[in-house]
C-alpha cells in the first residue's frame, strides 16, 4: 500500500508560537524551537519531519496562516 | 522569507496540499498568539476564494479586536460604529442585493451595544451573514466583562467573578435569534481543532448558498478563546474553552432551512 | 422639462423631492413633527417606480448607520428626524464625516432640551453648526424658510454632499415641516448608475479593495487627514455661502434670522419701515458656511444687529464673531416652542437695539 508522506513549511517570522499546531498534530511532527524569532516568539518547526503525513491539521488551525503543507505518495 | 521545512524532496508545486489563500492579505495579524480570530478570518477568506466571491463581497467590520479586518481580507469593507454592523449591512444588501454581504462582530459589539441592531436585522430577515465571534470578554479594551462572560468568570470589571445577582446572566444571543422567523440558518461552531475548523468552513459555505437563495439571515456563532483576556496560554485557553464555554454555549446547528 | 405645481406640507415636499431626486434609500424612524416624511414615502411606495429603498429602522441610531452603509456604496441615501433623534444620530454623523461619505440628514427641529415639546424651535443651531458629534468636522447646513426650499434643498443637498464627500444637514423646524404652501416639484431624475471609485461595490480585479473607515491609529496619518478635512471646509467656506437679503440697501439696522424666524422678520421689516425705522433682513441660507463676510460688510453700514432665533441665542455667537465688536449685537427669541410675532420683534428692536 502506498504511504503518504508530508512536509510542512513554516514562515518563521510570522509564527507567534501559540502551539495550537503542535497540539493538533496527530503524529508528533511539530515542536517549538528552542530559539526565538525576530518578535521573540518560540516558533513552530517540524522537529520530526519523517513523521509528517501531510494531513494539514496544523495549517488548518494556525491562526496566522504561517504553514504550507506538501504531501506525496511514496 | 525565513522558513523551516520538513523533508525537502517532497516540497514541489505538484505536491502542494494546503497553502494560504490570496484573499487573505499577506499582513501580520494584530491578534494575540493563538486567538481564534485569525483562524476565523482565514477560513472566511478561503470560502470567499473557493466560491469565487472576491469581486462580489462587501464585508462590515466591527469595533473590537477585529476592527482591522479590512487589513486582512482582500474584499471591499466598511468599518461600522460599535454594534451597528447589522444596520450598515442591511443598507448595503438592500441597495446591492446581488452582492455577498457579511458582518463580523465580537460579543461586546453584537450582544451589548448592538443588541437592538442584531435582533432587528434578524427579525427583518435581512439576507446577510452575521458572524459572531464569542469569547466571553472584551479583548481590545483590555479584558472587561462582556454580556457573554460566564457566571463566576473573572474579568477586569468582574474581578471577583461574574455575580449573576448584580450583573445578570450571560446572554445566549444565538438562541434568541434562532427563535425569530427571519433567521434561516443559525449555528454554533468553533475553530480550535482541525475537525471544528472544517465544520465552521462548511457552515460558512452553507450561509453563502442560503444568501444566494434569499432565504433570510444566517447567523454563525464561533465560540472562541481570548488567551490575553483570560490570562492563559493559547493551548490552556482552548482547553478551558472546551471545559467551560462549550457546556454553556453548546456547538451545533440550532436552525437549518428546509430543503 | 416642466415642474409640477402642488400644495403640500413641508415634510411631504421633502419626501416627494427625494423620490424625484432619484434617492436610492431613505432610512427613518417616527418622531413628531417629521413622521410625515416616512409615512409619505411608505404610502408612495417608490420601490415600485424608481426602486428606491424605504425602510423604517428600529431606532434613529440604526437609521443613521444604514445611511452610512448606503453612502459607503456610493448611493444617494438620507434620513430625517427631529431634535432628540438627531442627538441619537451624532456618533453616526461623526463617522460619516470622518469617512468622508455623502448623505443628507433632515432635522425638523422641535423644542428641547430633552423630550422638550413638539412645537417648533431653532435651538439645534449649535448642534448642527458647531459639532453635535465628536471631532473636528463640519456639516454643510442648509436652512429652508419655505416649503419650496424644503423641496429644492434635497437636490442641492445631495449635489453639495457628493461634490465635497461630506454629510449635509437640512435644518428645518416644526412650523415649516407642518405648514402647507405651493411648491414646484422637479421632474423625476434617474437614479445613479455609475458609482464613485472609492465606494464598496465589490472589488474587481482592476482595483485595490475599497475600505470605508474613519480610523487611523497612526497619529501622523490622522493629523494629515484632519488637515485635509479642514482644507475641505475652507474651500466650502470660500465657495458655498448662500444668503438672501431683504431691504438691506439703505438699512440702518439689521435683522439676522433664518427659517421661520426669517419669515417673521420679513413682516417685521415692513412693520418697522411703516414706523420710519430703516431696518433690513439678512437671511442666511447656509448656516455652515456662515455668511460672515457679508455680515461683516453690513456691520460697517448699520448701527446695530438683532439676531432673531427661536432659542436662547445660538446663531448670535456667529453674528458676534462676524461683526467683531464693531457694532452692538443682541438676541431676541421666544423659547419653549413659541413662535415670535412680527410685532414683538419690532418692539424688541426698538427697546434693545435702537433704544439701548
Q: What is the CA radius of gyration of chain B?
A: 18
Give the CA angle between residues C180, C182, C184 to the nearest 5°.
130
Half-sphere exposure of C189 (CA within 13 A, CB side): 19
Mean pLDDT for all residues in chain B:
97
Q: How does residue A2 score in pLDDT terms, banded at 50, 70 and 90?
A: confident
Share of chain C above pLDDT 70, in %: 99
pLDDT of the residue at C131:
85
Cβ within 8 Å, pair B4-A9: yes
Contacts B16 to A, Cβ<8 Å = 68-70
pTM, entire model = 0.95
B67: helix, strand or coil: helix
B95: helix, strand or coil: helix
Largest CA distance in chain A: 44
Q: How many residues does chain A have?
A: 74
Task: Say how far residue C351 (Cα) sits from the centre of its chain.
Answer: 31
In a domain, B204, yes or no: yes
As a whole number of angstroms, the distance between CA C221 and CA B46 comes to 32
Which of A9, A58, A60, A66 to mutate to test binding with chain B, by most B CBs within 10 Å of its CB? A60
Cβ within 8 Å, pair A20-B235: yes
As a whole number of angstroms, the distance between CA B129 and CA B149 comes to 24
Q: What are phi and psi of A63, to 5 degrees?
A: -65, -20
Residue B259 has pLDDT above 80, yes or no: no
As a whole number of angstroms, the distance between CA C155 and CA C160 comes to 9
* Residue of B58, B79, B91 lying closest to C66 (CB–CB): B91
Can you name the residues that pair with C330 across neighbouring β-strands? C306
CB atoms within 10 A of CB C59: 16
Query: C and A: touch, per 3+ CB pairs < 8 A?
Result: no
Cβ within 8 Å, pair C61-B84: yes
Residue B117 has pLDDT above 70, yes or no: yes
Cβ within 8 Å, pair C209-B87: no
In a domain, B237, yes or no: yes
Question: What domain range is B251 assigned to?
Answer: 31-255
**Cell reading at C209:** 479593495
Provide the number of CB pairs (under 8 Å) joining chain B to chain C.
Answer: 120
Q: What is the CA radius of gyration of chain A?
A: 12
pLDDT of the residue at C262:
98
| pLDDT tens figures, C161-216 | 999 999 999 999 999 999 999 999 999 999 999 999 999 999 999 999 999 999 99
Which residues are CB-contacts of B205 (< 8 A; sequence separation ≥ 6)? B47, B50, B51
| pLDDT tens figures, A43-74 | 999 999 999 999 999 999 999 999 999 999 98
Which tops the pLDDT comparison, C356 or C156?
Answer: C156
Tell me if chain A has a CB within 8 Å of the CB of B236.
Answer: no
**Cell reading at A19:** 502551539
pLDDT of the residue at C260:
98
| pLDDT tens figures, B183-199 | 999 999 999 999 999 99
| pLDDT tens figures, B131-180 | 999 999 999 999 999 999 999 999 999 999 999 999 999 999 999 999 99
Domain count, chain B: 1
Contacts B113 to C, Cβ<8 Å = none
In a domain, B17, yes or no: no
As a whole number of angstroms, the distance between CA C154 and CA C150 comes to 7
Which other chains touch chain C, taking contact as 3+ CB pairs less than 8 Å apart? B
pLDDT of the residue at C356:
57
Can you name the residues that pair with B220 across neighbouring β-strands? B131, B187
Residue B128 has pLDDT above 80, yes or no: yes
**Overall CATH class of domain A4-73:** alpha beta
Residue burial B79-103, b: 16+ Cβ < 10 Å; e: rest: bbbbbbbbbbbbbbbbbbeebbbbb
In a domain, B14, yes or no: no
As a whole number of angstroms, the distance between CA A13 and CA A37 comes to 6
Name the nearest CA neighbour of A12 among A48, A47, A37: A37
User: Does an H or E element contain B16, and which?
Assistant: strand B16-18
Give the neighbor-by-neighbor strand order of the sheet with C253-256. C243-246, C279-284, C253-256, C304-308, C329-332
Query: A and B: touch, per 3+ CB pairs < 8 A?
Result: yes
Which other chains touch chain A, taking contact as 3+ CB pairs less than 8 Å apart? B
| pLDDT tens figures, C246-296 | 999 999 999 999 999 999 999 999 999 999 999 999 999 999 999 999 999
CA distance B176 to chain C (A): 17
pLDDT of the residue at C104:
98
Which tops the pLDDT comparison, B1 or A36?
Answer: A36
Which residues are CB-contacts of C80 (< 8 A; sequence separation ≥ 6)? C14, C26, C28, C34, C37, C38, C105, C106, C107, C108
pLDDT of the residue at A74:
85
Mean pLDDT for all residues in chain C:
97
**Cell reading at B25:** 492579505
Residue C297 has pLDDT above 70, yes or no: yes
* Residue of B3, B15, B29 lying closest to A11 (CB–CB): B3
* Residue ranges of domains in chain C, CATH in brackets: 4-202+228-238 (3.40.50.970), 244-354 (3.40.50.920)
Contacts B189 to A, Cβ<8 Å = none
Question: What is the arithmetic mean of pLDDT over C36-60?
Answer: 97
Residue C1 has pLDDT above 80, yes or no: no
As a whole number of angstroms, the distance between CA C115 and CA B225 comes to 43
Q: How does residue A1 score in pLDDT terms, banded at 50, 70 and 90?
A: low
Domain of B83: which CATH number? 3.40.50.970
Amino acid at each position: 500500500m502506498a504511504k503518504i508522506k508530508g512536509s510542512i513549511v513554516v514562515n518563521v517570522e510570522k509564527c507567534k508560537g501559540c502551539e495550537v499546531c503542535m497540539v493538533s498534530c496527530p503524529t508528533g511532527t511539530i515542536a517549538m524551537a528552542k530559539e526565538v524569532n525576530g518578535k521573540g516568539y518560540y516558533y513552530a518547526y517540524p522537529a520530526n519531519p519523517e513523521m509528517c503525513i501531510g494531513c494539514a491539521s496544523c495549517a488548518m488551525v494556525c491562526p496566522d496562516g504561517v504553514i504550507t503543507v506538501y504531501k506525496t505518495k511514496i | 522569507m525565513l522558513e523551516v521545512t520538513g523533508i525537502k524532496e517532497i516540497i514541489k508545486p505538484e505536491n502542494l496540499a494546503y497553502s494560504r489563500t490570496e484573499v487573505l492579505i499577506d499582513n501580520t495579524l494584530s491578534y494575540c498568539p493563538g486567538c481564534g480570530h485569525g483562524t476565523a478570518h482565514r477560513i472566511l477568506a478561503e470560502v470567499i476564494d473557493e466560491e469565487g466571491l472576491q469581486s462580489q463581497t462587501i464585508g462590515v467590520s466591527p469595533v473590537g479586536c477585529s476592527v482591522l479586518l479590512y487589513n486582512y481580507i482582500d474584499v471591499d469593507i466598511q468599518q461600522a460604529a460599535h454594534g451597528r454592523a447589522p444596520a450598515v449591512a442591511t443598507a448595503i444588501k438592500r441597495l446591492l442585493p446581488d452582492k455577498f454581504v457579511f458582518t463580523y462582530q465580537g460579543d461586546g459589539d453584537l450582544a451589548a451595544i448592538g443588541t437592538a441592531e442584531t435582533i432587528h436585522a434578524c427579525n427583518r430577515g435581512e439576507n446577510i451573514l452575521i458572524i459572531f465571534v464569542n469569547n466571553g470578554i472584551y479583548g481590545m479594551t483590555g479584558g472587561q466583562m462582556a454580556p457573554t462572560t460566564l457566571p463566576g468568570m473573572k474579568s477586569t470589571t468582574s474581578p471577583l467573578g461574574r455575580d449573576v445577582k448584580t450583573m445578570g446572566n450571560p446572554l445566549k444571543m444565538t438562541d434568541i435569534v434562532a427563535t425569530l422567523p427571519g433567521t434561516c440558518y443559525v449555528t454554533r461552531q468553533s475553530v480550535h481543532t482541525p475537525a471544528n475548523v472544517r465544520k465552521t468552513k462548511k457552515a460558512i459555505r452553507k450561509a453563502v448558498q442560503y444568501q444566494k437563495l434569499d432565504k433570510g439571515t444566517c447567523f454563525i456563532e464561533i465560540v472562541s478563546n481570548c488567551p490575553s483576556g483570560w490570562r492563559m496560554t493559547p493551548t490552556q485557553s482552548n482547553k478551558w474553552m472546551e471545559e467551560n464555554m462549550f457546556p454553556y454555549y453548546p456547538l451545533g446547528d440550532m436552525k437549518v432551512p428546509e430543503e | 422639462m416642466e415642474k409640477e405645481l402642488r400644495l403640500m406640507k413641508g415634510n411631504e415636499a421633502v419626501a416627494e423631492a427625494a423620490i424625484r431626486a432619484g434617492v436610492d434609500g431613505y432610512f427613518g424612524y417616527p418622531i413628531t413633527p417629521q413622521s410625515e416624511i416616512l409615512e409619505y414615502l411608505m404610502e408612495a411606495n417608490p420601490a415600485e417606480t424608481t426602486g428606491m429603498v424605504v425602510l423604517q429602522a428600529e431606532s434613529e441610531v440604526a437609521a443613521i448607520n444604514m445611511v452610512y452603509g448606503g453612502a459607503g456604496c456610493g448611493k444617494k441615501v438620507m434620513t430625517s428626524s427631529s431634535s432628540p433623534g438627531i442627538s441619537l444620530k451624532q456618533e453616526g454623523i461623526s463617522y460619516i464625516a470622518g469617512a468622508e461619505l455623502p448623505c443628507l440628514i433632515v432635522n425638523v427641529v422641535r423644542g428641547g432640551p430633552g423630550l422638550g415639546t413638539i412645537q417648533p424651535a431653532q435651538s439645534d443651531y449649535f448642534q448642527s453648526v458647531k459639532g453635535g458629534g465628536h471631532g473636528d468636522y463640519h456639516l454643510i447646513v442648509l436652512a429652508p424658510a419655505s416649503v419650496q426650499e424644503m423641496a429644492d434643498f434635497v437636490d442641492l443637498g445631495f449635489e453639495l454632499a457628493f461634490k465635497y464627500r461630506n454629510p449635509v444637514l437640512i435644518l428645518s423646524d416644526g412650523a415649516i415641516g407642518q405648514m402647507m404652501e405651493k411648491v414646484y416639484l422637479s421632474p423625476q431624475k434617474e437614479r445613479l448608475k455609475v458609482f464613485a471609485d472609492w465606494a464598496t461595490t465589490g472589488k474587481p480585479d482592476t482595483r485595490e479593495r475599497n475600505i470605508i473607515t474613519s480610523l487611523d491609529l497612526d497619529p501622523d496619518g490622522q493629523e494629515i487627514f484632519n488637515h485635509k478635512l479642514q482644507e475641505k471646509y475652507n474651500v466650502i467656506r470660500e465657495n458655498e455661502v448662500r444668503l438672501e437679503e431683504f431691504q438691506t440697501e439703505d438699512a440702518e439696522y439689521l435683522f439676522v434670522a433664518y427659517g421661520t424666524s426669517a419669515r417673521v422678520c420679513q413682516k417685521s421689516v415692513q412693520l418697522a419701515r411703516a414706523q420710519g425705522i430703516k431696518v433690513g433682513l439678512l437671511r442666511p441660507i447656509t448656516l455652515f458656511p456662515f455668511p460672515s463676510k457679508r455680515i461683516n460688510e453690513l456691520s460697517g453700514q448699520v448701527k446695530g444687529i438683532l439676531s432673531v432665533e427661536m432659542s436662547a441665542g445660538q446663531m448670535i455667537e456667529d453674528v458676534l464673531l462676524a461683526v467683531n465688536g464693531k457694532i452692538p449685537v443682541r438676541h431676541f427669541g421666544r423659547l419653549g416652542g413659541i413662535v415670535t410675532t412680527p410685532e414683538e420683534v419690532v418692539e424688541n428692536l426698538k427697546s434693545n437695539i435702537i433704544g439701548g
